[in-house]
Amino acid sequence: MIDFHELNNDQRREKVNSEQRFSALQQAQQKAKTFRGSLVWHTVGDVEHLMRSYYDSSGARRQKVEGRRSAETEKQKADWEAARETARETLTARQKQMERQSAINRVLRLGRVPFLTARIIRALDNAGLLGAGIRIAGTNAIYAYEAAAGVFVDPGITTTEDIDLLMDARQSLRIVADDQVEDGTLINLLRKVDKSFERSQSAFRAVNRDGYLVDLIKPVARPAWKKDRDAVGKSDDELVAAGIEGLAWLENAPPFESIAIDEKGGPLRMVAPDPRFFAAHKLWVSQRADREPIKRRRDFAQAEAVAQLTATYFQHLSFDATTMRALPKAVFEAAKLMFAR
């Protein structure tokens, strides 16, 4: 049996506070975004019109005439500006509240997700990609599971200097363009986080000056000649997802969402594959003959930890043939023994 370090009462209380305040912050951020643009008076000839500048769903800036200057349009402009100011004040207040909460989280040692990893995940979330075509796979997914369970797993199986981004090749991905994204490409999104990120010789991988790796992966196409989506954007140095055997099980798995805490105390939303599928896939990987022995042992340790965590803390997630029918029978039978233990 694996020993999990459960949060103490103080940590549980502040974890709940973090989630609530993070949700309030997200609401304030969304509200503030609705006021992007402006309402200004624009003169054409001798007539003043109220002109609205805004951003459409693709991120393109648009303009619209609201009407000639009148008591009604003057009130419309005044009401809009007052609402925008209120939204800004609310956002500022909640950002300060979150700064205080992050300090508390650091004192209580709640932070788990490496800071650079957290910044990348937040960038994906802000761009509208997280959970909408890209999920966190590999070792970093464990942070999502332990955060939801309210436990810490052995740091030895979570320590990593990379992140795997699982692309759902079945979906059409499109970044909701904003000021944080340039040209709608994943490589440029990463450069907003750390300007030293460059695509490596392996087209699916980006690496920064410190050697931190970001891999874009997807399931192997079935049949092999089938053409599916393999990139977010179309720039010359954009990342192109690598097809990897077995990832179709994770692609078909239900999404699992939770709020984790980064090592500086800040909450972040994480979306990973269902932990049952994660554990079964890791077990299968650990048994592959072409896998390096040291990696196989780590894969097995991760599979056992997530399986036991799921069976212990997520009792609503049953491991049975019906719910796990996306797995091949041999993979299901092997993993079932692990969940039973």
Task: Report pLDDT digits (tens) over 181-236.
Answer: 445 689 999 999 999 999 999 999 999 999 999 999 999 977 666 777 888 888 88
Q: Are 244 and 192 a contacting pair, CB within 8 Å? A: no
What local confidence, expressed as pLDDT, does residue 178 receive?
Answer: 46
DSSP per-residue letters across 159-199:
--SEEEEEE-TTS-------TT-STT-HHHHHHHH-TT-EE
What local confidence, expressed as pLDDT, does residue 177 receive?
Answer: 42
pTM, 2 dp: 0.89
What local confidence, expressed as pLDDT, does residue 228 receive?
Answer: 76
Whole-angstrom Cα distance, residue 296 to residue 96? Answer: 44
Whole-angstrom Cα distance, residue 165 to residue 175? Answer: 15
Strands annotated E in the chain: 5-6, 38-44, 47-55, 61-68, 134-137, 151-152, 162-167, 198-199, 205-207, 213-219, 242-244, 255-261, 267-273
CA 218 to chain CA mean position, Å: 16
Exposure b/e, 295-310, CB count within 10 A at least 16 = b: ebebbbbbbbbbbbbb
What local confidence, expressed as pLDDT, does residue 182 receive?
Answer: 45
* Residue 316 C-beta-side C-alpha neighbours within 13 Å: 2
Q: Are 105 and 254 a contacting pair, CB within 8 Å? A: no
What local confidence, expressed as pLDDT, does residue 328 receive?
Answer: 94
Q: How far is CA 115 from CA 91, 108, 294, 314, in A?
A: 23, 17, 26, 27
Whole-angstrom Cα distance, residue 339 to residue 310? Answer: 8
* Residue 85 C-beta-side C-alpha neighbours within 13 Å: 6
Quick: pLDDT tens for 291-301: 999 999 999 99
What local confidence, expressed as pLDDT, does residue 341 receive?
Answer: 67
What local confidence, expressed as pLDDT, does residue 230 receive?
Answer: 85
- Quickly state the pLDDT bin for 58 (edges 50, 70, 90): low
Q: How far is CA 314 from CA 256, 317, 318, 319, 339, in A?
A: 12, 6, 8, 11, 12
- Quickly state the pLDDT bin for 56 (edges 50, 70, 90): confident
- Quickly state the pLDDT bin for 57 (edges 50, 70, 90): low
Whether 258 has a pLDDT exceeding 70, the answer reads yes
- Average confidence score pLDDT of the chain: 91
What local confidence, expressed as pLDDT, does residue 60 receive?
Answer: 76
Whether 87 has a pLDDT exceeding 80, the answer reads yes
What local confidence, expressed as pLDDT, does residue 176 receive?
Answer: 46
Strand, helix or coil at 235?
Answer: coil
Closest CA to 310 of 258, 257, 274, 272: 274
Per the structure block, which two tokens stand in for 122? 């937040």
Strand, helix or coil at 317?
Answer: coil
Mean pLDDT for 145-154 is 96
Strand, helix or coil at 154?
Answer: coil
| Percent of the chain's residues with pLDDT above 70 | 94
Whole-angstrom Cα distance, residue 255 to residue 338? Answer: 22
Say how many C-beta atoms besides its own lie within 10 A of residue 79's C-beta. Answer: 11
Mean pLDDT for 251-256 is 95
Mean pLDDT for 29-38 is 91
Strand, helix or coil at 234?
Answer: coil
Say how many C-beta atoms besides its own lie within 10 A of residue 245's C-beta. Answer: 11
Whether 173 has a pLDDT exceeding 50, the answer reads yes
Q: Which amino acid is present at 117?
A: T
What local confidence, expressed as pLDDT, does residue 181 receive?
Answer: 44
**Pairing of the two strands 151-152 and 162-167:** unpaired
Work out the angle between the directed axes of helices 329-340 and 293-313 (0-180°, nearest 10).
60
What local confidence, expressed as pLDDT, does residue 223 receive?
Answer: 67
Mean pLDDT for 80-96 is 97
